């Protein structure tokens, strides 16, 4: 059973409108060899078939529908509009979760549980060990309210980039090719001038969007919300309000000052502000920044990735964006999914057992999908061992995951 507090599945990918998949492939110059395949590839294939993808950019509405279809085809019972509010535990065993779904409180028991709430809600409610924030400063990454804009003339935008490269990050798209994603970041002078006259929040550093499959649409990863903790509703309330204020400012500036945006309009903001970092599990293995940088390999590998450490800094904190050498990749061990002090709880996705730096690389969508698939395989195989996840022989987990192409 999949329990979800929103009315649809997908989380940050759909409710948060985070619509480009960051790098999960090795580029050998002529082709891309994916490090994550399996269910994630099925999702991609079905979105392509539905016209919902342009390269690694996807339509959030296509994702919602396709992901629900995949779950239904796999025989998963989905319970949406349902919030997990408590965990019943005896000793090291989780017995049940309490849920609230608008009608009444209910208790749902299971043999094995997977925490993919992003915020580690199950870990927290089960009083399992977790960490939050930078090991020295306690800082958490900045939050961002994504938004979707329509009516963009992409050809004009990329011509502007080609004409005034100093105003943009050098990796911005300079040539429009139909069927290829447009990725543009910068507008440095527009941003600085607007801040000076008070037309833009100080925290915004640049405008950044990637194009979406529908013609003339872009998803903006631009707002920058500082100093708030995404695992607190009180602070999230401030983030939601401040994020939507920033959206209004950016949309007005795009329309009045940026080439290709004269007839643009706001389609929607994320249903929820995007949260990059909150609780991380303390598992049997803790993935570190060193593991990411060195391309660590493990005897119990269940997932792979090659995205580097990417920290969106707070005020007075330097942002970090590192890249692995092309061809390198790291593995994620099963032990990073096993939560200490519990025997039938796994975690995957954003709350995986890691240091702050490790999490800053592992948090991207493809890796979250790969660790989620691995947790699902281990959970299902653990049923013959009463849900004790460490009893599952690694060879049989590897058998399934290597067939799916994830290890």
Ligand X SMILES: Cc1cc2nc3c(=O)[nH]c(=O)nc-3n(C[C@H](O)[C@H](O)[C@H](O)COP(=O)(O)OP(=O)(O)OC[C@H]3O[C@@H](n4cnc5c(N)ncnc54)[C@H](O)[C@@H]3O)c2cc1C
Binding interface with ligand X (CB under 6 A): 3-6, 11-13, 16, 18, 20-22, 83-84, 116-119, 121, 144, 221, 274-276, 349-350, 363-365, 368
**Least spacing, CB of residue 181 vs ligand X, in Å:** 11
Q: Tell me how far, at minimum, the Cβ of 6 lies from ligand X, in Å.
A: 5
Q: Would you mind telling me the total number of residues written for the chain in this entry?
A: 407
Closest CA relative to residue 274, chosen from 32, 15, 39: 15
- Give Cα separations from 385 to 118, 122, 275 (angstroms): 27, 22, 35
Q: Helices marked H in 334-407 — which ranges? A: 356-362, 365-381, 394-404
Q: Give backbone dihedrals phi and psi of 168, rounded to 5 degrees, phi first.
A: -135, 160
The residue whose Cβ lies closest to ligand X is 349
Which CB, 333 or 349, lies closer to ligand X? 349
Helix, strand, or coil (residue 14):
coil
Minimum distance from CB of 167 to ligand X (Å)? 22
* Least Å from the CB of residue 43 to ligand X: 12
What is the closest distance, in whole angstroms, from the C-beta atom of residue 144 to ligand X in the complex? 3
Comparing CB distances to ligand X, the nearer of 18 and 303 is 18
Contact yes or no for 248/177 (Cβ under 8 A): no
* Between 342 and 365, CB nearer to ligand X: 365
Tell me the sheet residues that pair with 98.
86, 107
CB of 229 closer than 8 Å to CB of 174: no
144 vs 404, beta carbon nearer ligand X:
144
Residue 303 structure tokens: 């997932």
Give the nearest distance from C-beta 391 to ligand X in angstroms: 25
Q: Is 220 helix (H, G, I), strand (E, B) or coil?
A: strand
CA angle at 149 for the pair 146 and 154, rounded to the nearest 5°: 120
**Distance separating alpha carbons of residues 177 and 181, to the nearest angstrom:** 8
Q: Which is nearer to ligand X, 321 or 384 (CB)?
A: 321
Closest CB to ligand X among residues 80, 153:
80
**Minimum distance from CB of 202 to ligand X (Å)?**
19
Of 209, 205, 227, 206, which Cα lies nearest the Cα of 219? 209
225 DSSP 8-state letter = B
For the chain, the distance separating the N- and C-terminal CA atoms, rounded to the nearest angstrom, is: 26
Which residue, 77 or 196, is less far from ligand X as judged by CB?
Answer: 77
Strand-pairing partners, residue 186, are 168, 207
Select 103 or 395, whichever has its Cβ closest to ligand X.
103
Residue with the two structure tokens 């096993």: 338
Q: How far is the CB of 350 from ligand X (least distance, A)?
A: 4
The tally of CA atoms less than 13 A away on the side-chain side of residue 239 is 27
Strand, helix or coil at 295? Answer: coil
Q: Considering beta carbons, is residue 123 or 397 the nearer one to ligand X?
A: 123
Q: How far is the CB of 395 from ligand X (least distance, A)?
A: 27
**Gap between the Cα atoms of 16 and 175, Å rounded:** 29
Closest CB 17 distance from ligand X, rounded Å: 9
Nearer to ligand X, 40 or 187 (CB): 40
């Amino acid at each position: 059973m999949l329990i979800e507090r929103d009315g649809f599945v997908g989380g940050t990918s759909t409710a948060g409108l985070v619509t480009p998949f960051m790098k999960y492939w090795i580029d050998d110059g002529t082709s891309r060899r994916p490090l994550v395949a399996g269910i994630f590839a099925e999702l991609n294939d079905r979105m392509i078939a539905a016209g919902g993808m342009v390269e690694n950019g996807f339509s959030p509405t296509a994702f919602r529908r396709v992901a629900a279809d995949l779950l239904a085809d796999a025989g998963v019972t989905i319970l949406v509009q349902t919030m997990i509010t408590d965990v019943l535990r005896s000793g090291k065993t989780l017995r049940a979760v309490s849920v609230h779904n608008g009608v009444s409180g209910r208790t749902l028991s299971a043999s094995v549980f997977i925490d993919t709430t992003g915020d580690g809600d199950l870990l927290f409610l089960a009083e399992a060990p977790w960490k939050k924030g930078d090991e020295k400063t306690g800082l958490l990454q900045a939050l961002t309210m994504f938004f979707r804009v329509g009516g963009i003339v992409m050809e004009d935008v990329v011509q502007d980039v080609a004409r005034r490269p100093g105003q943009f990050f050098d990796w911005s798209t300079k040539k429009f090719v139909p069927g290829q994603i447009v990725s543009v970041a910068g507008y440095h002078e527009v941003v600085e001038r607007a801040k000076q006259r008070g037309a833009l929040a100080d925290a915004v550093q640049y405008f950044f969007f990637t194009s979406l499959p529908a013609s003339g649409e872009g998803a903006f990863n631009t707002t920058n919300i500082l100093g708030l903790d995404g695992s607190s509703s009180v602070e999230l309330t401030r983030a939601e309000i401040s994020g939507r204020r920033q959206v209004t400012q950016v949309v007005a500036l795009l329309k009045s000052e940026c080439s290709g945006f004269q007839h643009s309009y706001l389609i929607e903001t994320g249903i929820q502000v995007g949260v990059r970092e909150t609780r991380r599990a303390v598992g049997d293995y803790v993935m570190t920044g060193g593991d990411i940088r060195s391309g660590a390999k493990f005897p119990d590998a269940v997932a792979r990735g090659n995205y580097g450490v990417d920290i969106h800094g707070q005020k007075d904190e330097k942002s970090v964006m590192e890249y692995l050498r092309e061809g390198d990749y790291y593995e994620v061990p099963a032990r990073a999914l096993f939560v200490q002090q519990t025997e039938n709880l796994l975690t995957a996705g954003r709350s995986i057992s890691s240091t702050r730096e490790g999490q800053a690389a592992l948090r991207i969508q493809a890796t979250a999908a790969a660790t989620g698939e691995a947790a699902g395989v281990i959970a299902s195989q653990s049923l013959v061992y009463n849900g004790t996840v460490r009893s599952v022989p690694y060879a049989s987990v590897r058998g399934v995951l290597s067939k799916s192409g994830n290890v």
